[in-house]
Chain A
Amino acid sequence: MVNFLVRRVLQALGVILAISLITFFILNIVPGDPVQIMLGDLATPETVAQVRAQMGLDKPVWLQYLNWAGNMLRGDFGSSYFQHRPVMELLLVSFGYTIRLASFSYLLAVTIGLAFGILAAVFHNKWVDKVLMVLAVGGISAPNFWVAIILQIVFGLTLKWFPISGAKDFSYYVLPAIALGTRYAASIARITRNSMLEVSKQDYMRTAEAKGLRDWLIVMRHAFRNALIPVITVAGTDLGNILTGSMLIESVFQISGIGKLMVDAIGQRDLPLVQGGVMYIAFICVVIYLIVDILYAVVDPRIRLGGGTRSE
């Protein structure tokens, strides 16, 4: 188990390094010069050149990367060109909002997703199954920012059940969590249902029945435990997407999370902030993949004790 972890951690670090290289390269060929934006309409060619020199933007790309990487290893992500605050501080603040939004919507997604998935599988081909699955497919199909706008108007403004924007306390996160969460609840429900159906055809399910166990014990301990493996994969990548994909929801509900920070930063070409942000998100994604692998081992002993091959 230990070398399994070490190998995965090393691979994770490699991935983060690769992502930092790719991001740095892309940000350098993205058109639009941050200094030009900084100086705005009053910029004259000489001042632009002078400022670029001061910020070290005139050095060759690889040198800039080495400086940046060197600082990063010391924990200094540099400071934002425009907000003049250390990138790490900005990321931590906005990550706080994103974590709250992501955890609410993820909790919603997992609970509803698993519940719908198991119910649909247990009542396979009955009306419950059909209704839940159409709802699930519907959940995936609607563009989440469109759903967000409609929720905001209907439940926020007209019915005044929930605040329409901001992020002060729990009630502020209800609508955004619904808008963001439905899509992932739907995908978890579908994968759970299919996985449960596939598992229920296995021989050990018949053995469980032959033992005369109670229904819910068969469903939960035997079917669900085995169905969990593919669900974990989807749930893992979904968490990654929620953490990074919530930018549209954040902009509609004015929650200054990481997604919105990144979109604005790219708009302003705030390179250190974008670079730091992408590293942060990549780090989160890689950590999630690690957790997913560990969860695999916890749920499936064939991996934990070696010997078994995990199907992709």
Chain B
Amino acid sequence: MKPGMREPGRLDVSELPTFGFGHRSLMWWGTFGLMLIEGMIFALTIAAYFYLRSHSVTWPMNAAPPELLWGTVNTAVLLASMLPNHLAKQAAEKLDLKKVRIWMVVCLLFSLVFLGIRVLEFTSLNTRWDSQAYGSVVWMLMALHTTHLVTDAYDSAVLTVLMFTGPLEGKRYVDVSENAMYWYFVVLSWLPIYAVIYWAPRF
């Protein structure tokens, strides 16, 4: 059994590292669990969307499909934000504080941009939550994902501040790396939602 037993009856672990990245760390599994939950919620809401659609003659119900412009722009921005996010993750795993600071700030700027655009998206949905079931489920999807954008942006903001002010220790780099993983999730889960909200009504 590694690391070796010095004397029988004793398993000495004092040389083990005090933190590690990826699925070695508890934080990774915590984040993974949250991602499963939220992924499930998105999946069910999308299922509800198509369930309602299957019970309706016209789709979208007496409303025009959402305009593509802002949604598409935002998708691009979100995808682009994965680059600084990735670099922040790498820097964190190299324990490179300077780079971490830089890329976290860049990520924050991105998050401000896509939150701004998200507001415009809501204005271009062409339906209200209380006009019919179609509007309700579209707004539900958008609201759910926006909640994730906001919380993730806020998490990153707090973490960034911490990276500048300290107090710092090794496991904070793990936090940065897990925060980046969660960011991936928020971006990638947007793609199916984008397809459903903006393209499903067009087919």
A and B, one complex? no
Binding site for B on A (CB under 8 A): none
